[in-house]
Chain A
Amino acid sequence: MEQVLTILIADDNPSDRILLKAILSQFGHNVISAVDGQDAIDKFDPHTIQLVCLDIKMPHKDGWEAALEIQRIAGDVFVPIVFLSGVTDPIALSNCLRIGGIDFISKPYSPALITAKLNAIVRLLVMQKTLEEQRDAMSLYNEQLLNEQDVAKVVYENITNSNCLKDPALSTIHYGTHTFNGDVILAAYKPNGGMHILLGDFTGHGLSAAIGALPLADIFFDWTKKGFLMRQIIPEINARLKGILPSNMFCSAAFIDIKVNNKSIEVWNGGLPDLLFLPQNAGKPVRFTSKNLPLGVLSADAFECQIEPMSFAPGDRLMAFSDGVYEALDLSGQMFCRSILNPLYLGEIDAEHSVNWLVQQLEQEGVLENPHDDISCLSVRLDTNIGIDSSEHEESRGHDEAPADFSFEYVLNADSLRNTDPLPYVLQILTTVPGLSSFSSQVFMILSELYSNALEHGVLKLSSDKKSSSDGFSLYYEERERRLANLRDGYVKISVKVTSDNNNRSLMLYVEDSGSGFDFQRVNYDISNTELLYNRGLALLDQLCSKLEFTKGGSAVTAHYHWQVGLAS
């Protein structure tokens, strides 16, 4: 371990000073001499001097005073100090070590002892230098990492926040333990009104957890916008996550579909604590227990989608939270799910203030100061106006004037009725029509209303009377699933015709089913009559369309929709 050091020695006794300098120089070290404590301080430079030797008793500041001053100048740089002493008093010597000296050399000098001590000091210096280099490398690396994370965070937030979380119906809380949050809350308006909401919790925390959120958000927003249904989007997300995530990573999630047309929600829960449906006028909440494996665990063919429907009255709320809330520890060390959350489960907390109440509990129990897991919670105030006027505002009108003139027919027989949802595809073709994309939400609403009437009442022969009570509501959907699964015969024909006449454009949607029709003369088009859900749908269509015509005894219906181009926006 040969190393040349630059050594500062300070001794007021000239003969001792010259002797020490001679010994040190002999080993090849550079020696700078000082005649007293103040001189040593003046000559000290932490960047060139690696070792300081100070006599204890000197004029103009003694060795101890000089040592303290030199340490102050050195700051972060480690420069060992060795005291030179003719005294043998143990208290004086231990004082040297107490104020930061690493060793002392007794006079008279013994070259052998000095050599041994210098070697020890060199080893210490080498070790110190290695540590400093490692420390600097680490802090540089850490700084780079944080920089990169900041950039990635911007991208991440742009992708996961391009949604409608600011809707007044939604309240959310979101606390991450790292720069990146492994929890995501996504919300998007559906083209036919209503909203899709997803709360997800990826395995682990930080960047590795957040990375899976990108494809998740991508599919969620894209497919919702295109009009796909919850039961089509969930398997797609599952398949994509299964394909790209390592096998020990997955996403516990809840997916909520708010359907404003028939005042109902559908909930899919895969691995999250129970979602709570809180009725407006208090009472015990209805719990949506996890009935599915989390997203990204099962392969596409093994994946099942267990969805629960529920009807709501305006003002009811639905609440969901990640296990960071459920498993948070209160001040006594109990998990929230066994202590703090009890009043919520018992229906003792006012639905309207449930999120505020939860934040208060998290604060009181000290969870927010020191969270062990990412914490998120969402609550949505259910109502029939969610997502109704939202999409039109963003679209510009009156720019596309190229005339369109085409028609097509799309017939779905039993097998296809069971396995496909034709609406996104039909809508996709229709939105290619210049000008019509501005009205896509209305068109989609007409189309989906006509199609579900044809399928449910025509082909599957379900009676909508069942939907009137909330129990009947879930029974209705169970029955729908059952009949659809057993469907062997039947068809729905969708015919579309788009024509242009100067600035007037028209869309004709014709939907025919294999059912026996219904008594269309008795349809009540009064939209204020909210008693009847089925009629309510038709009343809505009647308002949107310029004309609604029934033929073939009610088993076929034609909706005429008109719009104009070339108008100033």
Chain B
Amino acid sequence: MVESFFDKKTECLTILVKGRFDYSCHKMFKETFTAVSKVKSYEINLAEVSYLDSSALGMLLLLRDHAGAEKAQIRLVHVNSAVIDILKIANFHRLFDITE
């Protein structure tokens, strides 16, 4: 399940993922960020993600590319410990701003 909300004032796109974050979310996840233009920053809320696999990591990279790679402003927020574990193994804290 993927939901999104765009704040026009701050130009921040919030994406909320629920349940398993895997290939089944691919289409919806991609649509949420390609549908909106003029986004300055992204906030990915992972509070309700129970599991995340390597294709989810791939989707995050896809978003990062879309948002300008090194210049991208993407924050992963409310990340639970199981998911942090997976992100850490992949060393994704070097690419994204991750907070619990």
How far is B74's CA from A518's CA once the two chains are assembled, in angstroms? 56
- A371 to chain B: closest CB distance in Å? 13
How far is B85's CA from A337's CA once the two chains are assembled, in angstroms? 11
Residues of B within 8 A of A252 (CB): 54, 89-90
Considering the complex, give the chain B residue whose CB is closest to the CB of A274.
B89
How far is B82's CA from A297's CA once the two chains are assembled, in angstroms? 22
| Chain B stretch 5-64: residues in CB contact (< 8 A) with chain A | 23, 53-55, 57-59, 61-62, 64
Given known pairs A203-B54, A323-B54, the reply for A250 and B61 (CB within 8 Å) is yes
Residues of B within 8 A of A250 (CB): 57-58, 61
The majority secondary structure among interface residues of chain B is helix
**Per-residue CB proximity of A32-60 to B under 8 Å, as 1/0?**
00000000000000000000000000000
Residues of B within 8 A of A292 (CB): 91
B94: Cβ under 8 A from any A Cβ: yes
Residues of A within 8 A of B23 (CB): 204
The majority secondary structure among interface residues of chain A is loop
Residues of B within 8 A of A323 (CB): 54, 86, 89
How far is B28's CA from A118's CA once the two chains are assembled, in angstroms? 44
- B20 to chain A: closest CB distance in Å? 11
B3: Cβ under 8 A from any A Cβ: no
User: How many residues does chain B have at the interface if contact means C-beta atoms less than 8 Å apart?
Assistant: 22
A272: Cβ under 8 A from any B Cβ: yes
How far is B70's CA from A294's CA once the two chains are assembled, in angstroms? 17
- Determine if B94 and A293 form an interchain contact, defined as CB atoms under 8 angstroms apart: yes
- Determine if A203 and B58 form an interchain contact, defined as CB atoms under 8 angstroms apart: yes
Given known pairs A201-B54, A203-B54, the reply for A248 and B91 (CB within 8 Å) is no
| Chain A stretch 240-270: residues in CB contact (< 8 A) with chain B | 246-250, 252, 270
- B7 to chain A: closest CB distance in Å? 26
B95: Cβ under 8 A from any A Cβ: yes
A273: Cβ under 8 A from any B Cβ: yes
Would you mind naming 22 contact pairs between A and B with Cβ atoms under 8 Å apart?
A201-B54, A203-B57, A247-B58, A248-B58, A248-B62, A250-B57, A252-B90, A271-B90, A271-B91, A290-B91, A291-B91, A293-B91, A293-B92, A293-B94, A293-B95, A294-B91, A297-B61, A297-B95, A302-B70, A323-B89, A335-B82, A337-B85
Show the binding face of B for A, using Cβ within 8 Å: 23, 53-55, 57-59, 61-62, 64-65, 70, 82, 85-86, 88-92, 94-95
Add 19 more A-B contacts to A203-B58, A204-B55, A271-B89 (CB < 8 A): A203-B54, A203-B55, A204-B54, A204-B58, A247-B62, A248-B58, A248-B61, A248-B62, A249-B58, A250-B58, A252-B54, A270-B91, A272-B89, A292-B91, A293-B90, A293-B92, A297-B61, A327-B53, A335-B82
